Chains A and B, each alone.
Chain A
C-alpha cells in the first residue's frame, strides 16, 4: 500500500507549525487587523480553488446514500447525527435544485444491512424535502451496507443516457459496513460506468471510502463540526467537471408556454385548444386525494402532445419529452461563464476612495482591495465575494460599453 495518498499527508504527519506566529500585533498592540486579514484570506480561498473553463456535467443525476444505521443516533452532532444531517440536507436539496435546475436527485437509505430506495431520481424540490423530513423521523438501526446501496444506485444510474452526469453522494456515519461480496468489484463497476462517488464521513476516515472516492474521481472528506459539514455539502452543489466517459449530445427539449397565453384566437400555434379545461398530469396518480389534480386552464402544455403540467421542469409522461422553461436553462449559464477572479491589490497603491460596486469608502482596515482584470474597477472584499458567489457578473464590466458582449 505504498501508493496511498501521495503528496497528501495527514496534518499530524506534516512539519511542526507555529500557528500563533501568523497573528501579529499592529502598532497599537491590537490583533484586530491581523485577525480580519486571516478571515478575509479564508473567504477568498474557496474562490481561488475554482478552475474556469472546464467542461461541466450540467445534467446531473445524483443519488444520495444516507446512512441510517445505529451510528447515526450518536449525539456528537446536535441534537443527533441523523437530525442534524436531515436539516442540512434540506438546505442542500434546495440549493442543489437552485443551481442545477434541470438535474435530478434520488435518495437511498441504508440500515439493517440493507439498502432501500426511498426516492427515485426526480426533479421536485418539495417532494425531496418531504422525504428527508420523513427519514429524520424514522428509526436508526443495525449496520449500513455500502455495497448494497452502491449496487442499488448503480442499477438505476446505469440506464441513463450517455450525456447524463452520474453521481453518488454518500453520507456515512458508521465506521463499518456489512457487505455480501467483495466491494472492490463494485468499485470497479462504478468506475467503468463513470459514476462519480463522493463520501462525507461523520466520524473518521475509512480506507474503503477513500478507495471508493479515489477510484471514481469523487471527493472524500471528514467533517469537523456541523458548519464544516454544511460547507462540505455545499461543495457538492457546484456541477463537477464532465467525466471523460460522458458523451456529448444534443438533447431534444420542449419549452411549454402558459396555457393562458393562447387566449386570443389569432394565436393558433399551440396544437391543442389552449382554452380547454384539463387535469394536470403531475397530480393524476396521487392516491387518496380525489381533488389533487385540479381542473383548470392554467398550466404548462407540452408542445408535442399537449399534456398539461403545473410545474416545470418535468419529463412529459405521455411522450417522454423533457419540458423546461428558458429561465431554467439560463439559471445555470453562470457556471459556464464565471467571472474571472479579481486581482488582489495593496490598498496603498489604490487611488480610488470608494468601492465601485457598493460605494463604500475604503477605511484603514481594508488591507487589500480587488481589481477586475477586465474592466480595472476596484472593489472591496465583500463585493468581491458577493460578485463571485452570488451575482456572477461583474458590475464594472456590465456597466461600461466596451466590455458588454
Chain B
C-alpha cells in the first residue's frame, strides 16, 4: 500500500519593526533573532526532505516575502539566472541551508533598506503583521493548490514579534484567523515582549500556541522546543499551558471591554451605551422599548 506523503509548510512571519524594545536597546540583537529563526527554518527543512519553509517580514511600512519558493534552489539551475543557482557545498553543510541563509540575509537587507528610502515619515506606526499574514495565506493557498495529487499538506503559521497592539488591523486579523480555522492552518505566536490579546484569540481559534518568552537569550531554545514540533505531536509534550483568552468585546465607541453591550442589528457594531445613531453604518435606531410594554400605549409606528 502506498504510504500517504505528508509535507509540512511552515510560514514564519518576522517582525522587523525598528520600534521593538529589544532593537531599540541593542540593535545587534536583530542578528540573534534572525539567526534563531533561520536555525528553526533549517531544522524544519531537516525533519523531512519534503518540508517547506517561507519567511515573510513586516514593519510599519510594508510586508513582503524574504524567503519563498521562488528564492529556493531550483532543481535544475538555469544558466544565467543569478541568485538561484546551487551554491557549492562548503564545510560539509547541506546546500539548502546555506542557500536559505544567504537568501534571507540578502532579502532582509533589501527589505530594511527599501523601507528607509521610501517611507521615512511613518515609521512609528504599527507593524503590519496582518498584512504579512494575508500574504502568507495566499501563499499557502497556492502551495496547497499546486501540490501533487495524493499528497497531504499541513500548513502552519508562526509569528515572531516584539511589538504591542494591533487594534487598527483588527478586521484583517480576524479574517485571517477565520480563514486559517477553516483551512486547518495552525497559528502559533512567539511574542518577545508583550501579552497580545488579539493574537491570543487567533491562537485559540486555530488551535495554536501562544508563548511570551521570558528572555530573549533563550529564543532559539523556545523556538525549537515549542514551535518546531508538529501540532499532532504537541499533545505528547509538556508545553506551556494555553493562555486564558479574554473573549469579551471591546466597544466601538470607547474601546472598553464590556460584559453587556448593545449591538447594531444592521452592522453588528458594539456599543457600551445606547446611542440613537450607529456610528458605523449611520442607521437611525428606534428608542429602546422596555421589556414589558404597557398595554395602553399605542405602538409607535412612525418613521424609525
Contacts and interface: CB of A to CB of B under 8 A. Distances in A.
Given A257-B247, A326-B250, A401-B128, A250 B262 contact: yes
A400 B139 contact: no
A356 B275 CA distance: 42
Interface in B245-272: 245-250, 258-268, 270-271
Contact of B265 (A163, A254, A337, A392): A163
B205 A327 contact: yes
Interface string B150-185: 000000000000000000111110111111001100
Given A98-B182, A258-B247, A393-B175, A55 B266 contact: yes
Given A253-B261, A400-B131, A56 B266 contact: yes
Contacts of B267: 58, 336
Contacts of A325: 247, 249
A250 B58 contact: no
A326 B248 contact: yes
Interface of B: 58, 60-65, 68-70, 119, 122, 125-126, 128, 130-132, 134-135, 137-139, 141-142, 145, 168-172, 174-179, 182-183, 201, 205, 244-250, 258-268, 270-271, 274-275, 278, 281, 283-286, 288, 304
Contacts, number: 203
Contact of B244 (A247, A258, A356, A361): A258
Given A255-B258, A321-B260, A359 B139 contact: yes
A244 to B, nearest CB: 12
Interface in A357-405: 357-361, 382-383, 386-387, 390-395, 397-401, 404-405
A329 B169 contact: no
Contacts of B176: 391, 393
Contacts of B61: 400-401
A361 B142 CA distance: 12
B271 A250 contact: yes
A337 B171 contact: yes
Given A252-B260, A269-B259, A395-B131, 7 more contacts: A247-B265, A257-B259, A326-B247, A327-B174, A398-B169, A401-B60, A404-B131
A252 B142 contact: no
Contacts of A392: 175, 179
Contacts of A399: 58, 62-64, 128, 131-132, 134-135
A250 B285 contact: yes
A248 B283 contact: yes
Q: Name the prevailing secondary structure of the B interface residues.
A: mixed
A2 interface: no
A313 B274 CA distance: 22
12 contacts: A247-B304, A250-B288, A258-B245, A326-B270, A330-B174, A336-B267, A390-B182, A390-B183, A391-B179, A392-B175, A397-B131, A401-B122
Quick one: which of B62, B64, B261 has the most chain A CB within 10 A? Answer: B261
A300 B258 CA distance: 15
A209 to B, nearest CB: 30
A21 B134 CA distance: 40
Nearest to A161: B265
A167 B113 CA distance: 56
B205 A261 contact: no
Contacts of B286: 162, 247-249
The 4 closest A-B pairs by CB, nearest first: A399-B131, A357-B138, A358-B142, A163-B265
Contact of A404 (B128, B145, B183): B128
A251 interface: yes
A329 B264 CA distance: 11
B178 A331 contact: yes
B207 to A, nearest CB: 14
Contacts of A357: 134-135, 138-139, 142
Contacts of B170: 330
A257 B201 CA distance: 13
Q: Which of B261, B266, B285 has the most C-beta atoms of chain A within 10 angstroms of its own C-beta? A: B266
A333 B126 CA distance: 22
A333 B247 contact: no
A80 interface: no
Contact of A261 (B125, B128, B174, B246): B246
Contacts of B171: 330, 333-334, 337, 393, 405
A90 to B, nearest CB: 16
Given A55-B281, A261-B244, A391-B179, A401 B119 contact: yes
A356 B183 CA distance: 21
Contacts of A217: none
A225 to B, nearest CB: 24
A189 interface: no
A249 to B, nearest CB: 5
A43 interface: no
A109 to B, nearest CB: 30
